[in-house]
Structure 1
């Protein structure tokens, strides 16, 4: 995997040229290695283990609570969090994004899978939620817009979510907690 990582790092700088590390692999071998990496992260950070969604839900709880507080006051605020790609994968998992059915496994390589870390959490990733406050005569209405790696992510019917649509999707995280040790007794760890 070290040579594969060297190849991937080189391809960050030049997608047209083939260097010595990438020359070690055929295109099919690179796709196989990518699948192995996706499979590893799927179980470590993604839908492959239930704890990952529980951990991601705690970050989404904070998002929901902060947006709810912002809608109940005239105070303008900015809340930013910075994290490793691991947490971003867990947020995807909690939201049910990029879920493959049936789940990916080592039994066969699924070429058209949704869980592709090369696109979702490449060397760096970001998930942004923007709360827009729109003035309507004597009151405000709110719209929420999401971005994944600087590209719009459409979680609702259109480009933005209404406040009610946002609540419908994110209210489930309002009671998220990291106090779930008792719930994990049925999980098997490798």
Structure 2
């Protein structure tokens, strides 16, 4: 029995140390809604508006003739896996947290404890992966926004000869397409739009799902893809968060990484859904804690969907070919058909296409041991893939006297964004981009790329 006494003593010492270290952060820190990784709501996400002045100067005398737009679906309910994990953990955990505070442990305030007293998941099996109401509003606002940017292209009437719409087999992307068109063309018009039937495999919008090589070498490769994330859990940065968050919830032992992630995920979902209220599940995290948890999430997506593995960028070649073929046709015929190409897909699609274009490339790979030096990184999921993230390429026809040329504006989250690895300035000359896109198109062979090469 002596060892039990030692364990109790160690736990009591740990608890006293935590209390002495002032784990209860002073004041009420607002939830950093712009830093919730891939669960960041679009209205809260950071937007870079710095390049508008230069862009407008570079497209003087130009008229937009074609818009190619790739959207991530809007804010949604949890996936089946997330929902199962959170519903298995959080109801019981909420009761323990309340009991901890009744026994004099923990840092939550009365209003937060009231939220947790009879907490029950605000979703059920029928909600899984569906668009949440905030997602409706995000996509409708995006449709209105793009119409305001190019009113001569989107004049309030939907013509199937002028606009191409496509989305994946997941309900949330079809729902996103509907609400985007509702915002762009209005309530009366959207009811008359016949949306296409989604199909699978879709090599433009969900190419990775149809790539056995990517599934095996990246997505299901625990040894390499998720190594840095697993190592980060063992670092002092992450362990400090686990201990301090647990202490603020009144526990005399640290939560497991899975339980901590369940608390963090519920915080993120509720923050994305309800901008006007604070989730009690966010209360134990400081701003620094949120930053650590964001990096924990980033280490997953960086290797699974972005610069962390070279196969990620290669699998997006059919999407790049689609841009090239639409723009090439418009340039050669001087007639844009269609005028708008609207695609609705997923964060994996967005991140792979961004990396294919060399956008937001960090100065070094994200690793488990460089969190501190990467705190000002340009690649973070909160920025590159919040809910409703969108990438638009706009083809402009520019004339000065008898001289005619074409330029391409790259819009990320609706704002002009440079492509420093591919062109000079903010508005790229098509003559600069065309050879690069043509090469990607000519060498795109997903059958060959995605073939599994087993050792014989």
User: Is the TM-score greater than 0.5?
Assistant: yes
Distance 1:82 1:140 in 2: 33
Q: Contact 1:98–1:115 (CA<8 Å) still a contact in 2?
A: yes
Q: Which runs of 5+ in 2 are unaligned?
A: 1-260
Q: Which residue of 1 aligns with 2:386?
A: 122
Distance 1:152 1:35 in 2: 26
Distance 1:121 1:172 in 2: 27
- Residue 86 of structure 1: which of 344, 348, 353 is its match? 348
Q: Which residue of 1 aligns with 2:418?
A: 154
Name which of structure 1's ranges 82-91 and 154-163 shifts more when overlaid on structure 2. Answer: 154-163
Deviations 1:162-182 (A, max 9, x none): 121222443331222312135
> Does residue 1:165 correspond to 2:432, yes or no?
yes
Name which of structure 1's ranges 98-107 and 29-38 shifts more when overlaid on structure 2. Answer: 98-107
- Residue 369 of structure 2: which of 107, 127, 131 is its match? 107
- Residue 275 of structure 2: which of 7, 10, 14 is its match? 14
Alpha-carbon shift at residue 138 of structure 1 (Å): 5.1
Aligned ranges for residues 24-43 of structure 1 at < 5 Å?
A: 24-43=284-303
Q: Contact 1:38–1:116 (CA<8 Å) still a contact in 2?
A: yes
Deviations 1:77-125 (A, max 9, x none): 2323221111110011112222223211122312122210101101221
Which structure has the larger Rg? 2
Equivalent position SS for 1:24: coil
Note closer, same or farther for the CA distance 1:185–1:32 as it changes in structure 2 (3 Å cut): farther
Distance 1:143 1:99 in 2: 23
CA RMSD of aligned residues (A): 2.2
Aligned ranges for residues 41-52 of structure 1 at < 5 Å?
A: 41-52=301-312
Q: Which residue of 1 aligns with 2:407?
A: 143
With structure 1 as the length reference, what TM-score do the two structures score?
A: 0.86
Deviations 1:105-151 (A, max 9, x none): 12231212221010110122111000112344456421111111112
With structure 2 as the length reference, what TM-score do the two structures score?
A: 0.38
Q: Which residue of 1 aligns with 2:11?
A: none
Equivalent position SS for 1:21: helix
Distance 1:145 1:10 in 2: 35
Alpha-carbon shift at residue 158 of structure 1 (Å): 2.4
